[in-house]
Amino acid sequence: MSKKVALVTGGGRGIGFGICEKLAADGFNLVLSGRSDASKVADSVAELERLGADVLYCSGDVSSADDRAAMLAEIKDYFGRLDVLVNNAGVAPQVRADILEATEDSFEWIMKINLQGPYFLTQACANWMIEQKRSDDSFEACIINIGSISATVVSPNRGDYCISKAGLGMMSSLFAARLGEFAIPVYEIRPGIIKTDMTAGVTEKYDNLIFNTELLVEKRWGVPEDIGKLAAAMARGDMPYASGQVIYVDGGLTMNRL
């Protein structure tokens, strides 16, 4: 039996790479996608291969319909199957702007990458998964969306990002409902404060909040491995009867407390 294949957008670094490491250790072959040239993720690919995965890197922009189509064609040609989609790629605002001053250009750029791209990539992958299910009833697939606590936690200086993640939450629910008849579960993970290059510019701010306030129940930075462990459990099928669920990985940040 051939190994299952997982596509992880933005899988070459940060949370995406943390997910890929756990999937590789669990015996998955991997497709990583990103906007960078393959040379920029060569070390990541080598590490995943060391863990036993056959790795395909597809260079492209998830917001581009042509790039998405080319990526899926490449996966079909190389692996001939797709069992897991992890929508992880995303961007933060290039400038954190008050919502009274934010620009339409920033809004459109973020929406295309964080929401429109994942929406239509999921549509395409879901249809391929349905085809595989119809030809082999034993085929098992799932879709995992990496959202953010920003879907519900308000940041008025990056409203476009918050709205994109709120939209991703509804997207998760929509696809979970639609794909139920095909037994393809859809899950969403909402990370909190995770130590990646995306948060590197605000390290001092979050260090203070994490260690000097009562913001978190678990007083530490989250790390990509925290997300990877949960995503791997979902991909393995360890969460049956739970399609459509949202799981927060945020150190207790969003838990209601007195």
Tokens of 73: 């064609």
187 catalytic? Reply is: no
Pair 232, 222: CB distance under 8 Å? no
Catalytic residue among 161, 206, 241, 248: 161
* Class of residue 255 by CB neighbours under 10 A (exposed 0-12, middle 13-18, buried 19+): exposed
Length of the chain measured in residues: 258
Residue 59 to residue 35: CA distance in whole angstroms: 6
Tokens of 247: 């799981």
Residue 146's closest CA among 240, 250, 71?
250
- Strands, E assignment, the chain: 5-9, 29-34, 55-59, 84-87, 142-146, 186-191, 246-249
Tokens of 11: 């899988």
Sign of the torsion angle spanned by Cα atoms 124, 62, 94, 248: positive
Q: How far is CA 60 from CA 10, 55, 68, 105, in A?
A: 10, 16, 7, 21
**Residues forming the active site:** 161
